[in-house]
Chains A and B, each alone.
Chain A
């Protein structure tokens, strides 16, 4: 068995009640699971990092399967826009903490499951302490900082990581950080620079896709605990929901990997810094970059002046309207717009001649939440436009604070 997880011996395993024997009968009659396997599941402690798109189906199936202890890490609250994919939450728990909402659903499904709630952001300070009580970690987070944090904490604590990741119509799954297998850093030694890879909040995701990938993670967790089959150790599963294609690629353990190869990473580091992003701030308007927050309360970011929606509105009211350019995609423009001309961010470079103002005219660039418009503003500046500003917070901030009749997406 490639997994490092060591199950308790039969004599230490918890007994099943008659009620549990009846509940898990479809498992008990599978020779690969059987009574002892079900007892192993009952003894197991699994930590789900994130109770969102991936964590929802993952935790639900683990609870149904009879995992004895499920830990949940999340500090978010349930929003109606989550329900398109996060099926562990429901209409009735909108506004509640996600860990509380998830507990209601898990306990409703299986009263025997012990749910441990970690209503906190996973950080370098708390990760090792939280991980040490669990046997398997399932990573269902959505940003690079936490991906590297979970990986390094798994390597340092010797816990296998059932990994899943999604974007639009595509998913990836693997099992990282087993003793002999590769870790996440073997596959991705360095994170992409901020701005290069859009987040799901910017790029969207097909609602069923996290269901598909989260259930694959749950399958791997259960295989690791039971010690059956061939876990996705040393393999990366690629899922393409559009053509319903599944492929596996070989992953190698990198002998020079600083985490699992040379072990030069001996403690958790500052992952915001590692990923090249500013740490989150609690004050000032926040805008979303590709995978982190940019502090827009700073007036100038990377040489681009930031204009707030209030400042922009005041300019309109004075009749001093700057040239506004929308850099979102046409399908987003259809949902809601401010009447500005549209050139998607990816086409700015090739459509500069369509900008109907001179290079020294003031241009305010706008997107959904301020990330892509910042990128477009930088591109315009590099192309010789001398007075380019970014509308901080984008049309979402406008809908939040200026014209609340507009829809938000």
Chain B
């Protein structure tokens, strides 16, 4: 399957936008991804191995959290996973100033 990597996490995939991995389920695909790029692991999973709640994973255009089998959902080889992180940017300007202190 192909996994789309969002900009903030590309620092951990040698700047690759997409990574192709083997794996029969969503969980296996993510596992392969973090084996290939170990620094990603802490960004995607909690220390006890659960997907972090601010990271959304989509199988094609469906949120994995709402699929009946969740991360155990089977993934076809041509399917695409997309990792959607929280991003907050919008009006950033000076450090320690601004409409929102960023």
Contacts and interface: CB of A to CB of B under 8 A. Distances in A.
B14 to A, nearest CB: 11
Given A79-B93, A164-B90, A346-B12, A170 B6 contact: yes
A152 to B, nearest CB: 15
B61 A250 contact: yes
A131 interface: no
A74 B61 contact: no
A141 interface: yes
Determine the interface band of chain B, counting residues with CB < 8 A from chain A: 35 or more
Interface string B88-102: 111111111111111
B43 A196 contact: yes
A140 B90 CA distance: 5
Interface of B is mostly: loop
Contact of B101 (A51, A167, A252, A293): A293
A52 B82 contact: no
Interface string B60-81: 0111001000000000000000
A54 B95 contact: no
Interface size on A, as a range, is 35 or more
Interface stretch (A18-26, A104-112, A154-162, A182-190): A182-190
Given A51-B91, A280-B101, 14 more contacts: A53-B89, A53-B92, A77-B97, A139-B90, A140-B90, A142-B88, A142-B89, A143-B101, A143-B102, A146-B99, A199-B88, A200-B90, A201-B102, A250-B61
Interface of A: 49-55, 73-77, 79, 81-82, 86, 98, 121-122, 139-147, 164-170, 172, 187-192, 196-201, 203, 205, 210, 236, 238, 242-243, 247-252, 280, 286-288, 291-293, 346, 349, 369, 396
